[in-house]
């Protein structure tokens, strides 16, 4: 804990967790083995299996209905309650995570981004990685128009390319979906690569999504259509982005959707940049969503706001590291 505000938060969490037993929501993205993972969002099947084995034996893992019941009715959680969630809708969730969840009899909620389902296309940050970090044969400079402004990035060394990748990733995450698409089109042209993605980075097909929905240990939730930082959109645009993913999932699965997670979902912001805001919460209520999760550190109590619940990101931790983190998550 490096700075004063972190210490203040730890003390607040510690006191709140003493007042009432907390629940912790874990956030995963992928369970697979990748050649490179610059966002560090993938957990290997071996580590995931060990993590679930530990959760099944030492914690109470709640399914989506049970978790929703406690949040909606403002009821205190059973001791050491954990709720497992996945963001984005990668195909590996179905092929690699689900079999392990089923084998360990541990439930999880899968939030799905709908725009690239059943296509060979990748989500834009993966696409950015594919273009910049999987081929060193790139032009030495990238000039790109983002949102009407020209940017220039060096791409003449591996280090420069890596820095450009991280810089673009920060800029694009606060752009509207059309601007991201326009930036990606320029990157395809500049690199000579097309939009077709890697099979290792695709999202689920319709059949895989339906299979997931029918599985005993999986529940489906919404995660917008095109994965924008909804806090950068007007109220109407938020309603449309969130609403479209809900509509597509309901149409495909034939079941009402009540779960949602904010893309990116951090609570921190830079100047006017927001991942979500008061309009996002209003839009979620308007759409009839009942349990909405964000992505910032914290525990859930009966008094937590069900429209911006904290979640804790799980990394590719070996079991001893995971065990230590889990103990901490319930304390501070
Ligand atoms: Zn996401």
Tell whether 23 is covered by a domain: yes
Three-state DSSP state, 332: coil
Q: How far is CA 250 from the centre of its chain?
A: 20
Domain boundary at 142, 170, 191, which?
191
Same domain, 243 and 312: yes
Q: Verify that 112 and 229 share a domain, yes or no.
A: yes
Same domain for 235 and 157, yes or no, is no
CA distances to 55, 153, 196, 204 from 41, rounded to whole Å, are: 19, 25, 22, 17
Based on the fold, state whether residues 141 and 11 are members of the same structural domain: no
| Domain identity same for 40 and 91 | yes
How far is the centre of ligand 1, averaged over its atoms, from the C-alpha of 18 (Å)? 32
The DSSP code sequence of 28-86 is E-EES--S--TT--EE-HHHHHHHHHHHHHHSEE--HHHHHHHHHTTPPPPTTEEEEEE
> Is the separation of the CB atoms in 95 and 128 below 8 Å?
no
Could you say which of 191, 220, 249 is where a domain stops? Answer: 191
Distance from the CA of 40 to the center of ligand 1, in angstroms?
Answer: 13
For residue 22, the number of C-alpha atoms closer than 13 Å in the C-beta half-sphere is 26
Contact 27, 87 (CB under 8 A): yes
197 domain residue, yes or no: no
State the distance from the centre of ligand 1 to the C-alpha of 116, rounded, in angstroms. 12
Interval between CA 88 and ligand 1 midpoint (Å): 5
Same domain, 226 and 274: yes
Domain contains 269: yes
pLDDT of residue 270: 64
110 C-alpha to center of ligand 1: Å?
Answer: 11
- CATH code (residue 26): 3.20.20.370
Shared domain for 93 and 236, answered yes or no, is yes
Q: Give the pLDDT of the chain (332 residues) as one tens digit per residue.
A: 457 777 888 888 988 888 889 999 999 999 999 999 999 999 999 999 999 999 999 999 999 999 999 999 999 999 999 999 999 999 999 999 999 999 999 999 999 999 999 999 999 999 999 999 997 789 999 999 999 999 999 999 999 999 999 999 999 999 999 999 999 999 999 999 999 999 999 999 999 999 999 999 999 999 999 999 999 999 999 999 999 999 999 999 999 999 999 999 988 766 788 999 999 999 999 999 999 999 999 999 989 999 999 999 999 999 999 999 999 999 98
d(CA 259, CA 122): 23
User: What confidence score (pLDDT) does residue 1 get?
Assistant: 47
Give me the half-sphere count of Cα atoms (radius 13 Å) on the Cβ side of residue 48.
Answer: 28
Of the three residues 191, 221, 245, the one that is the final residue of a domain is 191
Task: Specify whether 15 is located in the same domain as 156.
Answer: no
Range of the domain at 144: 124-191
Least Cα distance to 124 among 43, 181, 41 occurs for: 181
59 CB neighbour count, 10 Å cutoff: 19
Q: What per-residue confidence (pLDDT) applies to 6?
A: 79
- Is 196 among the domain residues? no
Angle CA 290–292–297, to nearest 5? 145
Question: Residue 177's closest CA among 222, 137, 256, 230?
Answer: 230
Distance from C-alpha of 223 to C-alpha of 112, rounded to nearest angstrom: 5
Q: How far is the CA of 329 from the centre of ligand 1 (A)?
A: 22
Q: Which two tokens stand for residue 105?
A: 């009899």
How far does the centroid of ligand 1 lie from the alpha carbon of residue 87, in Å? 5
Q: How far is the CA of 139 from the centre of ligand 1 (A)?
A: 30
Number of structural domains (the chain) is 2
Claim to verify: residue 208 and residue 79 sit in the same structural domain: yes
Token code pair at residue 177: 């979906």
Residues 112, 129, single domain; the answer is: no
Does residue 227 sit in the same domain as residue 249? yes
Tell me: do 161 and 68 sit in the same domain.
no
């Amino acid at each position: 804990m490096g700075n004063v505000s972190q210490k203040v938060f730890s003390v607040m969490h510690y006191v709140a967790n003493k007042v009432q037993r907390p629940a912790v929501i874990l956030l995963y993205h992928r369970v697979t083995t990748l050649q490179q993972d610059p966002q560090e969002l993938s957990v290997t099947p071996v580590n995931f299996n060990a993590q679930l084995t530990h959760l099944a034996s030492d914690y109470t893992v709640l399914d989506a209905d049970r978790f929703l019941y406690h949040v909606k009715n403002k009821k205190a959680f059973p001791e050491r309650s954990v709720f497992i969630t996945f963001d984005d809708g990668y195909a590996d969730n179905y092929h690699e995570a689900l079999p392990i969840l089923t084998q360990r009899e541990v439930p999880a909620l899968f939030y799905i981004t709908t725009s690239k389902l059943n296509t060979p296309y990748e989500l834009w940050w993966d696409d950015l990685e594919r273009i910049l970090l999987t081929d060193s044969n790139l032009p030495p400079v990238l000039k790109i128009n983002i949102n009407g402004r020209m940017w220039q990035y060096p791409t003449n060394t591996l280090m420069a390319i890596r820095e450009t990748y991280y810089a673009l990733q920060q800029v694009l995450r606060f752009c509207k979906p059309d601007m991201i698409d326009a930036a990606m089109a320029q990157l395809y042209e500049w690199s000579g690569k097309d939009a077709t993605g890697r099979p290792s980075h695709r999202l689920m097909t319709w059949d895989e999504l339906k299979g997931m929905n029918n599985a005993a240990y999986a529940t489906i939730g919404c995660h917008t259509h095109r994965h924008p930082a909804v806090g950068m959109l007007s109220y109407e645009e938020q309603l449309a982005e969130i609403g479209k993913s809900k509509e597509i999932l309901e149409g495909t699965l034939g079941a009402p959707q009540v779960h949602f997670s904010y893309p990116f979902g951090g609570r921190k912001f830079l100047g006017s940049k927001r991942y979500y805001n008061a309009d996002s919460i209003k839009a979620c209520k308007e759409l009839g969503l009942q349990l909405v999760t964000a992505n910032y550190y914290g525990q859930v109590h009966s008094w937590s706001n069900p429209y911006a619940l904290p979640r804790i990101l799980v990394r590719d931790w070996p079991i001893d590291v995971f065990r230590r983190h889990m103990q901490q998550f319930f304390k501070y």
